[in-house]
Structure 1
Amino acid sequence: MREMTVVVFGGTGFIGSHLVAQLAAEGARVVVPTRRLDRARHLIFLPGVEVVETEIGKDPLAPLLEGADAAINLVGVLYSKPGTPYGPQFAHAHVEIPRRIVAACAAAGVPRYLHMSALGADRDGPSMYQRSKAEGEVQARTEESVAATIFRPSVVFGPGDHFLNMFAALQRWLPVVPLACAGAEFQPVYVGDVAQAYIHALRDPKTRHLVFGLGGPSMYTLAELVRLAGRWSHHERPIVELPNALGRLQALMFELMPGTPLMSRDNLDSMKCDNVLDPAIQALTAASLGIKLTALEAVAPNYLSPHERFDEFRARAGR
């Protein structure tokens, strides 16, 4: 990949940071557009990485893409104000931005576009999130000259993730965890495996126009994941499973609080569908790309445990 130039939109986020680091390690030249340079401080010293300050929802994108071999779009949000068929934040992040990037790829002559969607993406899905992700996949395929590869991951775990770290943090402060949709199923996939899926797709032209489902080696209910997050962070609390009505009331209260809610009613709507791979598409998975999937138990205890983090710090300090 030493002769390849890749533009990574959303490269300063959790998944993007891991992917940019792996691309840099592979010797690729990586351009990371960002609205705020301070969010990319952890990337600017990586070899071959160029951080460019721009507003990707407004500024022209074709100049960023001139001479690039591929564009990767990881931009996504988990919350939006209500709307039909989806709210404005979902429309902007999941539909408008992919449309702008793919159009810019066509204008700049970029032949490849790798797109982050989500398991459960469905234009008729129960949540705004799922419907907007499905429409984003439509936008990914709008330019004939740009070959799209689409990835649909389950929840992604790894150092710096929001999902497991959030539940670990809650259990440090709460005596019990009131939990809606406790039986919803997930197939967590390691962030390093997700990054490798993108790298494999960049290397292999046969992945053009394909859709890959990305799930880990095991499935868990939401309640099981919350228990594991508490256990590995050494603050395991009892879980109180909430009926649907109380769960939606809890989510509404979170939505009314300042900032991005911990949980929204739309998140609950998404969990009406299990977030696991459909057996009908098993041929198009991370494993089909030659990736040996990483187990949750092999990684998560190391970054959730306060003792493990302290030991790692001491080792790096030479103590």
Structure 2
Amino acid sequence: MKPARVVLIGGSGFVGSAIANRLCAAGVEVSIPTRRSIHADHLRLLPTADIVEADVHDPAALARVVTGADAVVNLVGILHSRSGSPFGPDFARAHVELPRKLVAACTAAGVGQLVHVSALGASADGPSQYQRSKAAGEAEIRAAAPSLAWTILRPSVMFGRDDHFLNLFASLARSFPLLPLAGARARFQPVYVEDVAEVVWHCLTEPTAGGQTYELAGPTIYTLRELVEYVSALAGCPRPVLPLPEGLAMLQAALMELAPQPMMSRDNVRSMRVDNVAAGAPLPFGLTPTAMEAVVPSWIGSNSPRARFYGFRRHASRPRG
């Protein structure tokens, strides 16, 4: 059954925008709470979207936001936090305390369904605070049963037109002649953000999704080095990659942490000790994942013959794992 009204917590960002578009295309009323409405201005043209100014970390405001909703999708996630054990306070607030508040608010308001977007690699004994906090947040969601039908999604790193992943590598390649790279051998299985939005739609409309945890990934596994080489070539700026041993990577990350908006942290380096790949089928519900090479050239572009034929050479040289 199609929900009439869905609340997207964290819906003004990259992933939330794709999901909002998918839901509005289906005629669903979408409420998007945000602390500052200007952050969601790009969604105002969606015909059934309602931008609501609210601090979702405030239990009273959260209760008002979810009242009358058929379903809630939680997309809140952060990559950096002050340090702590087993995880820092910023991770605790965003990844653990907010899901706990959300479960309470949904239960009190009689919301029937909650889709929680976690992360591939979430684990209580993971090497990074990020991974451990994501696992703790999942535990808060699972504790909602049986009063609330929940579904947990664990996506790999997501790519799309406005992502901060592949576009970052393209920008760095255009700016620097050499790319020192932490975690060069770490393996990823990037998933297209539009595929994630489609999975969310199925979770909201298929009763079998209740109580399930799904991993979301793309069709191909890459090392981080391969991803950087592919994107830099596609951008017309092929650059040599200098893999950093973990000691140097941690030093580089420690220096980056001093920036107001760091690109990398030591906790991110620890996360890359574990491969970010799916254990089984890349997508649930029989969906076919979108290949990165099929869509990324449309926004990163190609300025060289080398970039145009890079994907063919990759697949011809050796089999993928």
Question: Does the alignment reach a TM-score above 0.5?
Answer: yes
TM-fit CA distance, 1:44: 1.3
TM-fit CA distance, 1:2: 6.1
Asked whether the equivalents of residues 156 and 190 of structure 1 are also in contact (C-alpha less than 8 Å), the reply is: yes
Q: Are 1:294 and 2:290 an aligned pair?
A: yes
1:98 aligned partner: 99
1:239-278 deviations in Å (ceiling 9; x for gaps): 0111111111101110122x12111110010000000011
User: What residue ranges of structure 1 are gaps of 5+ in the alignment?
Assistant: 308-319
1:191 aligned partner: 193
3-state SS, counterpart of residue 256 of structure 1: coil
1:73-124 deviations in Å (ceiling 9; x for gaps): 0000011111100011111110111111111000000011000111110011
1:20 maps to amino acid:
A
The 5-angstrom pairing of residues 13-28 of structure 1 reads 13-28=13-28
User: What residue ranges of structure 2 are gaps of 5+ in the alignment?
Assistant: 304-321
Q: Are 1:262 and 2:258 an aligned pair?
A: no
The 5-angstrom pairing of residues 164-203 of structure 1 reads 164-203=166-205
TM-fit CA distance, 1:162: 0.5
2:45 aligned partner: 45
Q: Are 1:62 and 2:58 an aligned pair?
A: no
3-state SS, counterpart of residue 289 of structure 1: coil
TM-fit CA distance, 1:59: 4.9
Cα distance in 2 for residues equivalent to 1:226 and 1:13:
24
Cα distance in 2 for residues equivalent to 1:32 and 1:221:
35
1:317 aligned partner: none
3-state SS, counterpart of residue 253 of structure 1: helix
Asked whether the equivalents of residues 118 and 133 of structure 1 are also in contact (C-alpha less than 8 Å), the reply is: yes
Cα distance in 2 for residues equivalent to 1:98 and 1:231:
40
1:85 aligned partner: 86
Asked whether the equivalents of residues 2 and 29 of structure 1 are also in contact (C-alpha less than 8 Å), the reply is: no
Cα distance in 2 for residues equivalent to 1:179 and 1:3:
44
3-state SS, counterpart of residue 122 of structure 2: coil
2:254 aligned partner: 252
Cα distance in 1 for residues equivalent to 2:180 and 2:298:
26
1:313 aligned partner: none
3-state SS, counterpart of residue 220 of structure 2: coil
TM-fit CA distance, 1:305: 1.9
Cα distance in 2 for residues equivalent to 1:42 and 1:290:
32
TM-fit CA distance, 1:143: 2.2
Cα distance in 1 for residues equivalent to 2:238 and 2:100:
44
2:152 aligned partner: 150
TM-fit CA distance, 1:304: 1.2
Cα distance in 1 for residues equivalent to 2:168 and 2:3:
39
3-state SS, counterpart of residue 296 of structure 2: helix
Aligned length: 301
Q: Are 1:139 and 2:135 an aligned pair?
A: no
Q: Alpha carbons of 1:10 and 1:227: their partners in 2 closer, same or farther (altered >3 Å)?
A: same
Asked whether the equivalents of residues 2 and 27 of structure 1 are also in contact (C-alpha less than 8 Å), the reply is: no
Cα distance in 2 for residues equivalent to 1:222 and 1:25:
34
TM-fit CA distance, 1:34: 0.4
Per mean C-alpha deviation after superposition, the further-off stretch among 73-82 and 228-237 is 228-237
TM-fit CA distance, 1:302: 1.1
2:273 aligned partner: 272
1:30 aligned partner: 30
2:240 aligned partner: 238
Per mean C-alpha deviation after superposition, the further-off stretch among 259-268 and 138-147 is 138-147
Asked whether the equivalents of residues 98 and 136 of structure 1 are also in contact (C-alpha less than 8 Å), the reply is: yes
1:74 maps to amino acid:
L
Asked whether the equivalents of residues 18 and 192 of structure 1 are also in contact (C-alpha less than 8 Å), the reply is: yes
3-state SS, counterpart of residue 106 of structure 2: helix
TM-fit CA distance, 1:3: 5.3
Cα-Cα RMSD: 1.3
1:312 aligned partner: none
TM-fit CA distance, 1:181: 1.0
3-state SS, counterpart of residue 179 of structure 1: strand
2:71 maps to amino acid:
A
Cα distance in 2 for residues equivalent to 1:235 and 1:97:
42
- Normalising by structure 1, we get a TM-score of 0.92
2:114 aligned partner: 113
1:190-213 deviations in Å (ceiling 9; x for gaps): 000000000011110111000000
